[in-house]
Structure 1
Amino acid sequence: MALPVDLRRCQVLGLAGTASLALGGETAGALPVRDLPAPADVHAALGLVGVYFGLVLLIAAWVLLGRLVRGAEPPTPRELLLVLAVWAAPLLLAPPLFSRDVYSYLAQGAMVDAHMDVYVQGPARLGGPLADEVAPLWQHTGAPYGPVFLAAASALSALTRGELPAGLLGMRALALIGVALMALVLPRLARHSGADPAAALWLGALNPLVLLHLVAGAHNDSVMLGLLGAGLVAALGRHPLPGAVLVTLAALVKAPAVLGLAAVVVLQVRSGRHPAKALATTVPAAVATTVAATAAAGTGYGWIGALETPVSPHNWALSSLLGRATGAVLARFGSDLAPLALPAWHLFGLAGAAAAVAAIWWRLRPGPVYALGLSLAAVAAFGPAIRPWYALWGLFLIAAAAPSTSVRQRVVAVTAVLALATLPSGGAVDGGQLMLAVSGGALAVVVLWQAHQAAGAPALERTA
């Protein structure tokens, strides 16, 4: 496909960004334990600079592409899908980036394959090379994922026989299936919601957070979102039963997707069906799907209790930050209530999320798809744990049904901040690493400025 000149420039700039990300990740990524560099390794330092150099290039390419999407001759969804494929290509064979969660997925899949109770025992019980790759914090923690994902991870473990390179490729392939499904359903959701399909694809599929955390990080959130989007498309197409089944399967990957069942019910009511009949279709379908999927996975119903899986004590969710601050103040004054501060704030956060979700659905003016996106964003924001990729829960559907340009601009700002918030190794930030990251980003800004000057205000600028 021959792309317009300006679109080709965005494609090349984004490709340079993801190529730099992949190359830098070879020494600065979430590498297997045997390949981890020494703290003072110069190659790791250069890799970190390269990763943040690539990050800034990718964000710049995405923002410029957004200008084209808003321009007089916007690219077609097909052209945007080609750009997405080109941008993602260098990341396919890169090491895991920005998180070590993929190693936990592999260990948990091996545990299910070995008939261990993955909801009661942590990867330490498995032992061996796979367990060694899991971060120490999660060695003794049960899996917080549903039976659908664990069944897929178990099948992958059996297929790859516990071999790490093959397992990593398999998990990335599974994540790519989720991303492909997201990209497939976004234009359809946008059309049903009265939004621009091209803008929805740009914001929801070509988003840097998708490339960084769903493709490079291989997070299972892509499978959850792909199934959720497919379920909503089915429900919008007046097929509520398959819609309820697909949304339930999404929730059996990660629990937040269960809110999608409310959208399935509302969509039936809006099409003229009586609320009682809508519930009578959706609830039995969800229950039957849950029973069948849990029985097929063979994991039992421990996933219900696993929803209370503890979070990292250093998590930067709002409720965790307030809990730690309150606990520190109480401890300073010698109060016995200090240990209760963190769980109390977590409860407040969950209550706030429930209140926000109730308020969103009570008003329901934006439409079910947008309301669901706002609800998932509230759950991510007020929950006891937050990671940059959690923002995609709500962002994916907000992209499909955003009612105005101002909403998209806010999403762009949030994306840019979160894209820079995590080290490629998935570890904690120290002063030296922060300086290297800033150096890489600053170098990219200089390169972009020089290219802009050399081009003499390129055509991209005229599309703004």
Structure 2
Amino acid sequence: MSAKAFPLDLRLCQVLGLAGTATLALGGETAGALPARELLAPSSAHAVLGLVGVYFGLVLLTAAWILLGRLVRSLDPPTPRALVLVLVVWAAPLLIAPPLFSRDVYSYLAQGAMVDAHLDVYAHGPAMLGGPLAAEVAPLWQHTGAPYGPVFLALAAALSALTRGTLSAGLVGMKCVALFGVALMTATMPRLARHSGADPGAALWLGVLNPLVLLHLVAGAHNDAIMLGLLGVGLVAALGRRPMPGAVLVTLAALVKAPAALGLVAIVVLQLRAGRRPVPALLTTGAASAVTTVAATAVAGTGYGWIAALKTPVSAHNWALTSLLGRATRALLEEFDSDLAPLAIPAWHILGLVVTVVLLVAIWWRLRPRPVYALGLSLATVAAFGPAIRPWYALWGLFLIAAAAPDTLIRHRMAAVAGVLALAVLPDGGPVDGGRLLLAVSGGVLAVVVLWQAHLAAQAPTALGRTA
């Protein structure tokens, strides 16, 4: 699509992206991660049309994002405020859509209800709760404890008490929590970019407007949004020479999801850059984090079981790199009747942990002058080599890499990763099979055909003008 065929103005990007998210939301009404009583058979006509519609809309949204990226890199780029307006326009249809691309939001609601009912959410899965909320949780997670920290579980419990366990109100509430996290990400991104010497508009485009944020944080209501939002606010505070509030906020982010704890390394490094001695920087940051952890856990009343429950996201069929290699190794050893076959997956997980630690040390050693960028690469490393991965985990690193990447090549590569991962999950969050994969591809191809026809239609008047 040439710039002449599609004039790179902001209104075109807004309209095309809005058409994409509106189609996504409409398709999600029959093909999304619906409540159990509303689920349709995947072969039903409505579910088929919904699945095609979701991927049609996803390609339109991705095209709008690519065009917006060209506009951001043009000689007359939109202001950060204008980009925030684009985000609002694109996100609006997804706020009223059913959950998309994951059923995790139902787990959040059930876990919040468990905390509200004084059940040990780390020792028991939602099956212990019973009732309609627990019935919505995917079978894989019915008997597993929550891997989330007390801050998020306290939010979920408060929401459960406020909505009295009503599913529809709970879903709206969880989307509001996720939207608040995205708002914090949006507010902090320009400041992080300026501190890192990056263009705020380009950072917003890559780190907040990318399809993964819209699909998984807005439409999917994942708690990664509130983790990243708190992490961003904490880093902004530390960059503004307020390390202790920064350490508190980063700890709160880690008490939503544990990977954010790496932000404390950035807090210490920022203090060292400001001339503080290492021992006081470490002690004060550690003390602020410890006090925050104890206070938050006491307020939430959940205890410290989340430390032991951090292995919860590891499932037998997860497609993390170490899990895939572990399963392949186990299959090979089983062919030779080796007694080592059961050890293959745990061994690869341990190797992944070792590789992660080595890479983290190397990253911080080489990039100490760029702590925000180092933190982004560190979180990306944890996501890539950890024992579990989901498409939205890529946002852990992408958010900060967008703010601090030193060159455009890295940004282009991260944009490509985001674009590919946006296509990786079906809208109901279920496993992929051949038939539904074909329908998804059909929806995407149909969108490409429509965009190409629009391209030709836009070129036609220009060609006629030249002939005249």
Say whether the fold is shared (TM-score over 0.5): yes
Q: Is 1:215 matched with 2:218? A: yes
Is this contact kept in 1: 2:8–2:71, CA < 8 A?
no
Moved over 3 A (4+): none
- The C-alpha deviation readout for 1:122-152, integer Å capped at 9, x for no partner, is 0000000000000001000000000000000
Provide closer, same or farther for how the CA distance between residues 156 and 457 of structure 1 changes in structure 2, counting only shifts above 3 A.
farther
State the partner residue of 1:123. Answer: 126
Q: Which stretch of the first structure deviates more once superposed, 114-123 or 358-367?
A: 358-367
In the other structure, the counterpart of 1:154 is: 157
Match of 1:166 among 166, 169, 174: 169
Say whether residues 1:291 and 2:294 are aligned partners. Answer: yes
Distance 1:137 1:342 in 2: 19
1:376-433 CA distance string (max 9 Å, x none): 0000000000000000000000001111110111011101110000000000001100
The reply to whether residue 16 of structure 1 matches residue 19 of structure 2 is: yes
Q: 1:132 aligns with which of 121, 131, 135?
A: 135
1:186 partnered with 2:186: no
| 1:277-307 superposed Cα distances (whole Å, 9 cap, x missing partner) | 2112211000000000000000011111111
Do the aligned residues in 1 keep the contact of 2:146 with 2:309 (CA within 8 Å)? Answer: yes
Partner of 2:268: 265
**2:87 is matched with which residue: 84, 87, 105?**
84
Alpha-carbon separation, structure 1, partners of 2:253 and 2:192: 17
- Does the CA contact (< 8 Å) of 1:51 and 1:424 recur in 2? yes
Aligned counterpart for 1:305 among listed residues 293, 308, 317: 308
Change (3 A) 1:445 1:238: same
- Structure 1 window deviating more from structure 2 (339-348 vs 98-107): it is 339-348
Q: CA deviation at 1:40?
A: 1.8
- Are 2:297 and 1:318 equivalent residues in the alignment? no
Q: 1:73 aligns with which of 31, 53, 76?
A: 76
Q: Hey, what does 2:3 align to over in structure 1? A: none
> Match for residue 97 of structure 2?
94
SS at match of 1:219: coil
Residue 63 to residue 458, structure 1, CA distance change in 2 (3 Å): farther
User: Structure 1 residues 171-180 or 362-371, which shifts more?
Assistant: 362-371
Counterpart-to-counterpart distance in 2, 1:101 and 1:380: 18
Match of 1:279 in 2: 282
One-letter amino acid of the structure 1 residue matched with residue 359 of structure 2: A
Residues 5 and 324 of structure 1: is their aligned pair in 2 closer, same or farther, counting only changes over 3 Å? Answer: closer
Q: How does 1:409-428 map to 2 (within 5 A)?
A: 409-428=412-431
Whether the 8 Å CA contact 1:452–1:458 is kept in 2: the answer is no
- Residue in 2 aligned with 1:106? 109
Of 245, 249, 256, which aligns to 2:259? 256
Question: What is the CA-CA distance between 1:308 and the residue it aligns to?
Answer: 2.2
Deviation at 1:310, TM superposition (A): 5.2
Scaled by the length of structure 1, what TM-score is found?
0.97
* Closer, same or farther: CA 454–90 of 1 in aligned 2, 3 Å: same
Rounded Cα–Cα distance in structure 2 between residues aligned with 1:310 and 1:329: 25
Q: 1: distance between equivalents of 2:210 and 2:332?
A: 40
The alignment status of 1:333 with 2:340, answered yes or no, reads no
- Residue of structure 2 aligned with 1:432, choices 405, 414, 435: 435
How many angstroms does 1:452 deviate by?
A: 1.1
Deviations 1:301-339 (A, max 9, x none): 111111122512111100000000000111111111111
Whole-Å separation in 1 of the counterparts to 2:124 and 2:419: 37
Aligned-pair identity (%): 79
- How big is the shift at 1:5? 7.1
* CA positional deviation for 1:360: 0.1
8 Å Cα contact 2:145/2:309 also seen in 1: yes
For 1:428, what is the secondary structure of its paired residue?
coil
Alpha-carbon separation, structure 2, partners of 1:406 and 1:456: 31
**1:310–1:84 CA distance, 2 compared to 1 (3 A):** closer
Say if 2:402 is the partner of 1:399.
yes
Find the aligned partners of 1:302 and 1:314 in 2 and give their Cα distance.
Answer: 25
What CA distance in whole angstroms lies between the structure 1 residues aligned with 2:394 and 2:369? 19
Please tell me the residue identity of whatever aligns with 2:109: L
Secondary structure at 1:303 match in 2: coil
The answer for the alignment partner of 1:462 in structure 2 is: none
C-alpha distance in structure 1 between counterparts of 2:44 and 2:226, whole Å: 36
User: 1:43 matched to which residue of 2?
Assistant: 46
TM-score, scaled relative to structure 2:
0.96
SS in 1 for 2:318: coil
Residue pair 1:366, 1:403 contacting (<8 A) in 2 also = no
Alpha-carbon displacement from aligned partner over 1:241-288 (angstroms, at most 9, x marks no partner): 100000000000000000000000000110111112211221100000
CA contact (8 A) 2:25 2:93 kept: yes
Superposition deviation, residue 31 in structure 1: 0.4
1:96-143 deviations in whole A, cap 9, x for unaligned?
000000000000000000000000000000000000000001000000
Residue matched to 2:465: none
Question: Does structure 2 retain, via aligned residues, the 8 Å contact 1:240–1:281?
Answer: no
Matched, 1:355 2:354: no
Kept in 2, the 8 Å contact 1:76–1:198? The answer is yes
Instruction: After TM superposition, give the deviation of residue 39 of structure 1 in Å.
Output: 3.1
Paired amino acid for 2:280: K
Confirm or deny: 8 A CA contact 2:8 2:70 kept in the other structure: no
Q: Unaligned 5+ residue runs, structure 1?
A: 460-464
Task: For 1:308 and 1:90, locate their aligned partners in 2 and report how far apart those are by CA, in whole Å.
Answer: 35
**One-letter code aligned to 1:298:** G
Contact 2:109-2:133 within 8 A present in 1 as well: yes
CA RMSD of aligned residues (A): 1.3
**3-state SS of 1:456 partner:** helix
